[in-house]
């Protein structure tokens, strides 16, 4: 397979997922039309597109457009995610480098990582009020602990051979860190950033339960409250699409930051 | 010196937890002062002890662990399988990754109506939600680990004429073990985090149920106790995880 | 109708129901023997609890009656749609939303009138004594709940501009936490949250039925149209008419039982036990619930108020006539007074 021209391979690779999605949608639409599946339980793609349009133009509830929901959530996620990463990566590097700190913090990290966002709602209100700060906190909380865990693991898994090699060349400790350990841990840090982004999105419904009706999480709550399963699905698609776009950004960032990390071209 | 190392490690961990608890107790007593706003650990424990019998407590912990293990195991199998597949094959990556990246950010609370329709109100829907929480970190780590095998290992294997599936099984996958282990550990932690959402679906017991039920009844102390309980159980299991990982993989890689 | 008339009716209904349920049984056993109720933590579930405890459902031919508790609002409705539960007892807002989305459900009757249980409470230090002072308060409210309708009605009655009210969306437990922490000055919610706030030192600004404002303290002002309804899916009613009839008979009997003052302490104890609420709390809020299943203008008016709110707040378009999805026959057969007949037929 590797022998074929790269051009053909790449186009085909891009088309396959699109083709699969198209097939699934067509089958779905058909099964609702044919009566095998009830529209209430599985809103057909045609209804979802129509509701998506309604959401774009009229909004739900009427007056709050999709763009407003998307804007509100993006703001909160980027802020919460950004702050979480800015705090977690340096802290993770620090903790991962020290055996003592790692052992001391391991229980706290494992504990805090397991606290559900819904559980934190009352605390978020008390500490940050009912405005944007509490939502940014709740989103950031989830991102922080996951990113921290990944950053710590990233440092610990740097190939010791590299470090020893650098030391034999009389590299200063600071340079060992900045020029060897840090770059070597970048790929795993980026992978961790990807997981943390997912977690950030995962908690938006809980995070946006307080003090707002704008936002994709709040939209999903509204849609569920009023039994508009079509809008719930539109919301899910929009969230998924945004997540996909952001993940592509992350891949681009990875390619820029870590140009030497070739993902292995193995047997196709 | 393994014995001494382990006791220092335990002390360090306990010290960390003790400091955390003390800070909480102090701020609850002297800063917030209102148990309705944030109960101190002692207050929360007291309220919980008056309502929960040890047997009921064991019930809660037991059923939650069952759900978590079931959902996590499924996520581990599918996640590692798909992750290794994608790390190994560019075709698989092209087909699978877009779906994963689209599904990853969708909140579990949005999945609940679908979960109820697909799996009913029983254990199935709860296990499904937990699966969703644990799957993505496991997949990402397995994929990253498989894709990031140091080229020097691959070239060494090549010189020894090890190719194809043998390369995969004997070189690539073992090289990915540390990453897979990290992914499993984080996925496991997230399973606990998602437990509360999962047990919203018509549960009658469970630690997440305890948190939400007591919240509905205005028993904030028990709710906090439940959160702490989840954290403690997560901690205990995570510690065991770490021990197992260090014994198996820790021999050749620092984890 | 007033309380006394209802109680007389209830007594007669109780007797009639016993005869009628025998008659219903004669018509045929329920088509399905296992049913499941959506359940919750309010005292509104008293009729269900009594019917289960006294074995009236077993008498009617159901071999297994399970309750499924839901801590989240939308979950019970989703479970009904999925066919996981057969009977749902929500407030009167969710089923109206459902019907307008095209989900085929039908209202079988009123479980209770819970208007008095909606309470607008405020921190004592917020000093809210007049309607206009509400503009300065941040008011906690669960968006899309029956409480939001009550606030809207309050604004209408006292001539307040709804758009100027600072409403902060959050679920009830967080409303209480926020009130205690001073993040909001007031909230409007159903029980037991209002009661919990009052026990913590808050003041009652307005209840669903009575004013607490200085200008008209104690005056009967109806701002709440909240009812608890019996809702089932249309499929269930069509496929299992006997089961529907038997179910309603048992529940109406339960309503009669819990309304009878002679059974008060027994019922309170049962409710406290089954819902996990403190007995003192149940006692304090009990009288705010009126378990009156009568189909009258009041029912239609309440449902219309809810429908109008949904339309004006942009959640639905083209409000439907409430009677078009109300099925009054099973209740009528159970002895309920039907002054306004439902328009739905299987």
The two beta strands, C119-122 and C138-141, are: unpaired
- Check pLDDT > 80 for residue C19: no
3-state secondary structure of A249: helix
Contact B106 A160 (CB under 8 A): no
- Helical ranges in chain B per DSSP H: 2-26, 41-51, 54-88, 90-103, 108-119, 123-147, 151-159, 164-167, 173-198, 207-216, 220-248
- Superfamily (CATH) of domain C3-113+226-333: Periplasmic binding protein-like II (3.40.190.10)
Q: In this model, does residue A41 exceed pLDDT 90?
A: no
Q: For B150-170, what is the mean pLDDT?
A: 81
Q: For residue B205, what are the domain limits?
A: 40-248
Looking up tokens 């774009």, which residue turns up? A56
Q: Do C68 and B120 touch (CB under 8 A)?
A: no
This prediction's pTM = 0.86
Task: Please report the pLDDT score of residue A196 as a whole number.
Answer: 93
Residue B1 pLDDT = 42
pLDDT tens figures, C290-344 = 999 999 999 999 999 999 999 998 888 889 999 999 999 999 998 898 998 888 8
Given the DSSP bridges, would you call strands C166-169 and C138-141 parallel, antiparallel or unpaired? parallel
Q: Which of residues 67-106 of B touch C (CB under 8 A)?
A: none
Residue A240's pLDDT is 92
Residue B254 lies in a domain: no
Give percent of chain B with pLDDT exceeding 90: 29
Grade residue C268 by pLDDT with cuts at 50, 70 and 90.
very high
Q: What's residue B53's pLDDT?
A: 86
In the complex, which subunits touch A with 3 or more CB pairs below 8 angstroms? B, C
Query: Which pLDDT score is estimated for C1?
Result: 46
Q: How confident is the model at residue A107 (pLDDT cuts 50, 70, 90)?
A: confident
Compute how many other C-beta atoms are within 10 angstroms of the C-beta atom of residue C233. 22
Number of residue pairs across A and B with CB atoms under 8 Å? 219
Task: Tell me whether residues A130 and C168 touch, CB distance under 8 A.
Answer: yes
B chain contacts of residue C41, beta-carbon cutoff 8 Å: 216-217
Q: Could you tell me the pLDDT band of residue B252, with boundaries at 50, 70 and 90?
A: low
- Do B102 and B6 fall into the same domain? no
Q: Give the residue on B whose Cα is nearest the Cα of C183.
A: B37
Instruction: Calculate mean pLDDT across residues B3-16.
Output: 68
The fourth-level CATH superfamily of domain C116-216 is Periplasmic binding protein-like II (3.40.190.10)
User: What is the pLDDT at residue A262?
Assistant: 57
Q: Which of A118, A263, A267 is closest, CB to CB, to B196?
A: A118
Question: Which among B38, B94, B113 has CB closest to A17?
Answer: B94
Poorest-pLDDT segment among A69-83, A172-186, C100-114: A172-186
- The rounded percent of chain A whose pLDDT value lies above 90 is 32
Tell me whether residue B155 is in a domain: yes
Q: Are residues B206 and B124 in the same domain?
A: yes
Q: Which residues of A touch C144 (CB under 8 A)?
A: 222, 225-226
Residue B82 has pLDDT above 50, yes or no: yes
Phi-psi region of C265 (alpha: psi -120 to 50; beta: other; left: phi over 0): alpha
CA A90 to chain centre: 20
A242-260 pLDDT per residue, tens: 998 998 898 888 888 887 7
Same domain as B53, residue B12 = no
**What is the count of residue pairs from A and C with beta carbons less than 8 Å apart?**
84
Equal fold, C3-113+226-333 vs C116-216: yes
Q: Measured between beta carbons, which residues in chain A are less than 8 angstroms from residue C77?
A: 227
pLDDT at residue A40, as a whole number: 67
Mean pLDDT to the nearest integer, A100-126 = 86
B3 and B105 co-located in one domain: no
pLDDT of the residue at B124? 93
From A197's Cα to the closest Cα of chain B, the distance in A is 8
pLDDT for B72:
96
**Sorting pLDDT into bands at 50, 70 and 90, what band is A54?**
confident
**Are residues B191 and B118 both part of a single domain?**
yes
Q: Does B22 share its domain with B85?
A: no
Taking CA–CA distances from C83, the nearest residue in chain A reads A41
Is the model's pLDDT at A1 over the cut of 60?
no
Structural domains in chain B (count): 2
Confidence of residue C29 (pLDDT cuts 50, 70, 90): confident
pLDDT at B5: 59
Tens of pLDDT, residue by residue over C166-194, are 999 999 988 998 998 889 999 999 989 99
Closest residue in A to C168 (Cα) is: A211
Dig out the tokens for C74 from the structure. Answer: 């939308």
Instruction: Give percent above pLDDT 70 in chain C.
Output: 92
User: What integer pLDDT is reported at residue A255 of this predicted model?
Assistant: 85
Distance from CA of C280 to the nearest CA of B (A): 13
Mark whether B87 and B194 lie in a shared domain: yes
List, for residues B44-72, the tens digit of each pLDDT value. 888 888 888 888 899 999 999 999 999 99
Q: Looking at chain C, which residue has its C-alpha nearest residue A227? A: C98
Are A203 and B238 in contact (CB < 8 Å)? Answer: no
Instruction: Please state which of the ranges A129-138, B86-95, B131-140, C113-122 shows the lowest mean pLDDT.
Output: B86-95
Q: Chains contacting B with at least 3 CB pairs below 8 Å?
A: A, C
pLDDT per residue over C219-251, tens digit each? 999 999 999 999 999 989 999 999 999 999 999
Output the DSSP codes for B226-245.
HHHHHHHHHHHHHHHHHHHH
The stretch A215-222 carries a mean pLDDT of 92
Nearest-angstrom CA–CA distance, B77 and B69: 12
Across the range B118-143, mean pLDDT stands at: 92
Residue range C143-153, pLDDT digits in tens: 889 999 999 99
Determine, for residues A225 and C82 on separate chains, whether the beta-carbon distance falls below 8 Å.
no
Q: Percent of chain A beyond pLDDT 70?
A: 90
Question: Touching check for B213 and chain C: CB below 8 Å?
Answer: yes
Q: Does residue B181 form part of some domain?
A: yes
> CATH assignment of A64-257?
1.10.3720.10
**pLDDT for residue B95:** 82
For residue B38, give the nearest of A20, A123, A204 by CB distance.
A123
CA dist A65 and A213 (Å) reads 11
Res C202: pLDDT: 92
Which chain A positions have a beta carbon within 8 Å of B231's beta carbon? Answer: 111-112, 114-115
B69: domain CATH number is 1.10.3720.10
Is residue B204 less than 8 Å (CB to CB) from chain C? Answer: yes
- Residue B220 — pLDDT band, cuts 50, 70, 90? confident
Residues 82-111 of chain C whose Cβ lies under 8 A from any Cβ of chain A: 82, 94, 97-98, 101-104
Given B202, B215, B218, which is nearest C68 (Cβ)? B202
Distance in Å, alpha carbon of A146 to nearest chain C alpha carbon: 26
Q: Which long-range contacts (CB under 8 A, 24 or more apart) does B48-54 make?
A: B48/B221, B48/B222, B48/B225, B48/B226, B51/B219, B51/B222, B52/B222
How close A14 gets to chain B, by Cα (Å)? Answer: 7
Which DSSP string corresponds to C259-283? Answer: H-GGGHHHHHHHHHHHH---HHHHH
Between CA B212 and CA A5 the distance in angstroms is 57
Mean pLDDT is lowest, of A20-34, A113-127, A224-238, C312-326, for A20-34
Nearest to A110 among B90, B98, B235 (CB): B235
CA atoms within 13 A on the CB side of C176: 27
């Amino acid at each position: 397979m590797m022998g074929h021209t790269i051009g053909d391979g790449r186009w085909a690779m891009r088309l396959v997922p699109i083709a699969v999605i198209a097939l699934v949608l067509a089958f779905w639409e058909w099964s609702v039309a044919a009566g095998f599946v009830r529209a209430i339980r599985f809103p057909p793609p045609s209804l979802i597109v129509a509701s998506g349009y309604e959401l774009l133009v009229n909004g739900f509830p009427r007056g709050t457009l999709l763009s407003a929901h998307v804007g509100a959530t993006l703001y909160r996620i980027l802020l919460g995610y950004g702050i979480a990463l800015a705090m977690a990566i340096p802290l993770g590097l620090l903790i991962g480098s020290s055996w003592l700190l790692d052992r001391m913090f391991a229980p706290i990290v494992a504990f805090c990582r397991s606290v559900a966002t819904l559980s934190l709602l009352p605390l978020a209100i008390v500490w940050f009020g009912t405005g944007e700060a509490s939502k940014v906190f709740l989103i950031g909380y989830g991102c922080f602990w996951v990113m921290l865990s990944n950053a710590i693991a990233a440092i610990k898994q740097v190939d010791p051979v590299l470090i020893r090699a650098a030391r034999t060349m009389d590299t200063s400790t600071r340079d060992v860190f900045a020029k060897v350990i840090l770059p070597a841990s970048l790929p795993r840090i980026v992978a961790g950033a990807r997981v943390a982004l997912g977690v950030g999105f995962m908690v938006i419904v809980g995070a946006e339960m307080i003090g707002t009706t704008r936002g994709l999480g709040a939209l999903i709550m509204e849609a569920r409250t009023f039994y508009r399963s079509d809008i719930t699905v539109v919301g899910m698609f929009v969230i998924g699409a945004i997540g996909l776009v952001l993940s592509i950004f992350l891949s681009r960032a990875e390619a820029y930051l870590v140009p030497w990390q070739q993902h292995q071209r193995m047997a196709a | 010196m393994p014995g001494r190392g382990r006791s220092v490690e335990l002390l360090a961990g306990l010290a960390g937890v003790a400091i955390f608890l003390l800070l909480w107790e102090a701020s609850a007593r002297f800063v917030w002062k209102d148990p309705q706003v944030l109960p101190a650990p002692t207050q929360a424990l007291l309220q919980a002890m008056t309502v929960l019998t040890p047997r009921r407590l064991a019930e809660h912990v037991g059923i939650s662990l069952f759900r978590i293990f079931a959902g996590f195991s499924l996520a581990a199998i599918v996640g590692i399988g798909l992750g290794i597949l994608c790390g190994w094959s560019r075709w698989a990556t092209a087909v699978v990754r877009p779906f994963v990246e689209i599904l990853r950010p969708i909140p579990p609370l949005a999945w609940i109506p679908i979960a109820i329709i697909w799996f009913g109100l029983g254990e199935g829907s709860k296990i499904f939600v937990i699966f969703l929480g644990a799957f993505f970190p496991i997949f990402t780590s397995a994929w990253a680990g498989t894709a990031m095998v140091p080229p020097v290992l691959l070239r060494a294997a090549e010189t020894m004429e090890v190719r194809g599936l043998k390369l995969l099984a004997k070189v690539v996958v073992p090289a990915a073990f540390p990453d897979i282990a990290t992914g499993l550990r984080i996925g496991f932690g997230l399973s606990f985090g998602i437990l509360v959402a999962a047990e919203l679906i018509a549960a009658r017991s469970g630690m997440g149920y305890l948190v939400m039920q007591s919240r509905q009844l205005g028993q904030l102390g028990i709710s906090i106790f439940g959160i702490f309980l989840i954290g403690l159980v997560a901690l205990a299991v995570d510690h065991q995880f770490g021990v197992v990982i260090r014994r198996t993989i820790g021999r050749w890689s620092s984890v | 109708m007033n309380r006394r008339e209802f109680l007389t009716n209830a007594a007669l209904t109780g007797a009639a129901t016993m005869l009628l349920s025998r008659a219903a049984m004669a018509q045929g056993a329920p088509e399905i023997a296992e049913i499941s109720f959506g359940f919750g933590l309010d005292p509104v579930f008293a009729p269900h609890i009594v019917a289960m405890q006294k074995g009236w459902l077993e008498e009617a031919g159901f071999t297994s009656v399970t309750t499924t508790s839901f801590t989240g609002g939308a979950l019970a409705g989703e479970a009904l749609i999925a066919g996981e539960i057969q009977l749902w007892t929500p407030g009167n807002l969710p089923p109206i939303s459902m019907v307008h989305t095209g989900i085929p459900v039908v209202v079988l009757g009123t479980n209770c009138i819970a208007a008095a249980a909606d309470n607008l409470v405020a921190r004592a230090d917020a000093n809210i004594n007049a309607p206009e002072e509400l503009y300065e308060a941040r008011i906690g409210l669960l968006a899309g709940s029956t409480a939001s309708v009550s606030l809207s009605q309050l604004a209408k009655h006292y001539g307040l501009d709804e758009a100027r009210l600072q409403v902060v969306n959050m679920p009830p437990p967080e409303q209480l936490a926020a009130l205690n922490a001073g993040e909001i000055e007031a909230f409007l919610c159903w029980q037991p949250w209002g009661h919990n706030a009052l026990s913590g030192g808050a003041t009652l600004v307005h209840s669903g039925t009575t004013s607490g404002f200085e200008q008209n303290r104690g005056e009967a002002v109806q701002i709440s149209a909240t009812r608890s309804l019996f809702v089932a899916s249309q499929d269930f009613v069509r496929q299992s008419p006997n089961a529907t009839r038997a179910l309603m008979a048992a529940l109406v009997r339960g309503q009669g039982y819990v309304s009878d003052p002679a059974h008060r302490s027994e019922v309170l104890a049962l409710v406290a036990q089954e819902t996990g609420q403190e007995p003192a709390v149940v006692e304090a809020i009990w009288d705010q619930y009126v378990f009156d299943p009568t189909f009258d203008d009041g029912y239609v008016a309440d449902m219309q108020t809810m429908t109008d709110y949904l339309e004006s707040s942009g959640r639905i378009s083209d409000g439907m006539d409430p009677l078009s999805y109300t099925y009054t026959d099973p209740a009528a057969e159970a002895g309920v007074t039907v002054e306004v007949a439902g328009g739905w037929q299987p």
